[in-house]
Amino acid sequence: MLKKIFNQLLHLSEEYLALLSEENCRLCRQEIIKPVLKDDSFKGNTSLAFVNLNLDNAYFKNYFKASQTICNYCLAKAYPDKVFLTTYDLIDDHVLTVLSATQYKGHAKWLIYQLKYLKDSLIAIDLAVFLLKAWLGLKPIISNEIRLDNYLIVPVPLHPKRLKERGYNQASKLGQNLSRLTNIPFNSKAIIKIKPTKSQQGLSREDRLINLNGAFIGKKEIVKDKTILLIDDVITTGSTLKACSQALYIAGAKSVYGLTLAISLKYK
Ligand SMILES: [Zn+2]
């Protein structure tokens, strides 16, 4: 409970920092003069797919006032218009279905780069709305009646050494913000990475799988009988999400689905 309050406070302070500081749009670099999607300027803008979202969510109302890292103009251009679905076979006849909000190119690629390598964690607040699009795409596939208390948002973990170098896990930032938008609980300790692995970039599909062999362990006490929404920034060959899903099933998860911000179609 205390931890939850602390997390909320931490998040609020991030939002207020964003409100107080003069933020520039991460795409066009123009100063963001007024908060994105605040007040009546949003109402007439039907080009934004946001109209389909659940605006009754109290957090969401605040979200619109706090969203600061992408200007209204760029947001309308960058907001995904369709989602991508991929499926992967796992051991024991399990299938992993992954929904991705957009392609890993252009605006999305640049925003993810800033979140991941330029330590711009505020972007995760805005990018979580993109991720929400992937969740809304997955919902009808899962079931018509979803009991969210049985769901858990889990980020793909970084090895502790990498986490220390980077300062934060970008998948965790995205997962936390998605949790606030959906009210689905979040737990960053559900999978741990026990083996440091080489960067997957530049490796073939086969080498990626070998590289990740035995790298992840699921925590039984956290994931048992839960439906897991596994979060990552980008999916390329699916090797990382597959390895994490296997670990979660071994630990007793009921089902596992993947949600990623972007999909790289290079290997497809
Ligand atoms: Zn802009």
Q: 3-state SS of 227-238?
A: EEEEEEEEECCC
For residue 259, what are its two tokens?
């949600």
CA 89 to ligand 1 center in whole angstroms: 40
Q: What is the pLDDT of residues 119-163, one digit of tens each?
A: 998 899 889 988 988 998 898 888 755 677 799 999 999 988 889
CA 27 to ligand 1 center in whole angstroms: 5
- For range 216-242, the mean pLDDT: 95
CA 106 to ligand 1 center in whole angstroms: 14
- For range 22-48, the mean pLDDT: 59
pLDDT (0 to 100) of residue 194: 86
pTM of the predicted structure, to 2 decimals = 0.80
pLDDT (0 to 100) of residue 9: 62
pLDDT (0 to 100) of residue 59: 47
Write the single-letter amino acid at 7: N
CA 246 to ligand 1 center in whole angstroms: 40
pLDDT (0 to 100) of residue 185: 93
- For range 73-79, the mean pLDDT: 79
Q: What is the pLDDT of residues 238-254, one digit of tens each?
A: 999 999 999 999 999 99
Backbone angles phi, psi at 203, to 5 degrees: -90, 150
pLDDT bucket at 212, cuts 50 / 70 / 90: confident
Q: How many residues does the chain have?
A: 268
**For residues 104 and 39, which has the higher predicted lDDT (pLDDT)?**
104
For residue 36, what are its two tokens?
């994105």
What is the dotted CATH code of the domain comprising 81-267? 3.40.50
Q: What is the pLDDT of residues 160-173, one digit of tens each?
A: 888 988 899 999 99
pLDDT bucket at 30, cuts 50 / 70 / 90: confident
pLDDT (0 to 100) of residue 82: 86
pLDDT bucket at 56, cuts 50 / 70 / 90: very low
Place of tokens 């991929």: 86
For residue 74, what are its two tokens?
């760029």
pLDDT (0 to 100) of residue 19: 52
pLDDT bucket at 51, cuts 50 / 70 / 90: very low
CA 24 to ligand 1 center in whole angstroms: 8
- For range 255-262, the mean pLDDT: 96
Q: How far is CA 255 from CA 30, 251, 258, in A?
A: 44, 11, 10
pLDDT bucket at 228, cuts 50 / 70 / 90: very high
Is residue 250 within 8 Å of 218, Cβ to Cβ?
yes
CA 231 to ligand 1 center in whole angstroms: 26
Whether the predicted pLDDT of 262 surpasses 70: yes
pLDDT (0 to 100) of residue 268: 56
CB atoms within 10 A of CB 202: 8
CA 263 to ligand 1 center in whole angstroms: 23
pLDDT (0 to 100) of residue 54: 44
pLDDT (0 to 100) of residue 3: 67
What is the overall mean pLDDT for the chain?
80
Which residues touch 158 (CB under 8 Å, ≥6 apart)? 166, 169, 171, 193
pLDDT (0 to 100) of residue 81: 82
CA 32 to ligand 1 center in whole angstroms: 8
For residue 136, what are its two tokens?
């809304």
Could you list the beta-strand ranges (E) of the chain.
84-89, 95-103, 151-155, 191-193, 216-218, 227-235, 255-263
pLDDT (0 to 100) of residue 259: 98
- For range 203-220, the mean pLDDT: 79
